[in-house]
Structure 1
Amino acid sequence: MSNALPDRATMTVTEAAEVLGVHRDAAYDAVHRGDIPSFRVGRAIRIPTAKLAALLGLAPPPHP
């Protein structure tokens, strides 16, 4: 996978780690600290793509 933002509304923590260029464990730590915006769907953690893009100063990908 590339480090480009996915064209979906949310991404996994692993995908966010790849976008950020950090290890998956570091991304989970940042989620738990509140440094990366996230929410839970059951046991799954999802990262809103638009919020991560805004945090990075990027334009969010267009929605289909």
Structure 2
Amino acid sequence: MYTQEAEAVLAKPTAGVEEVAQILGIGRRQAYEAVKRGDIPAIRLGKRILISTRVVRDMLAAGSIPKQAA
């Protein structure tokens, strides 16, 4: 269903913003803005921003952002 690269990313528990942007087909800047707005739920660890791949899979399956993510 997904490309091999996307499957490799989605196999991990979390992914970086740029990886998620590529999977969702949006730009890097749009992804960071969506995280900042809270549209894409993320965890901040120091300077790193991580996104649960479960949330990404839910977004792709639903075709939208889940109301209760994470």
Normalised by the size of structure 2, how large is the TM-score? Answer: 0.72
Q: Which runs of 5+ in 2 are unaligned?
A: 63-70
Q: Which structure carries more helix by proportion? A: 2
Structure 1 unaligned regions, length at least 5: 59-64
Corresponding residue pairs, total: 57
Which segments of structure 1 move beyond 2 Å, counting only runs of 4 or more? none
Whether the 8 Å contact between 1:37 and 1:52 is mirrored in structure 2 is no
- Deviation (angstroms), 1:51: 1.2
User: RCO (CA 8 Å, sep 6+): is it higher in 1 or 2?
Assistant: 1
CA RMSD of aligned residues (A): 1.6
TM-score (norm 1): 0.79
The answer for the alignment partner of 1:43 in structure 2 is 47
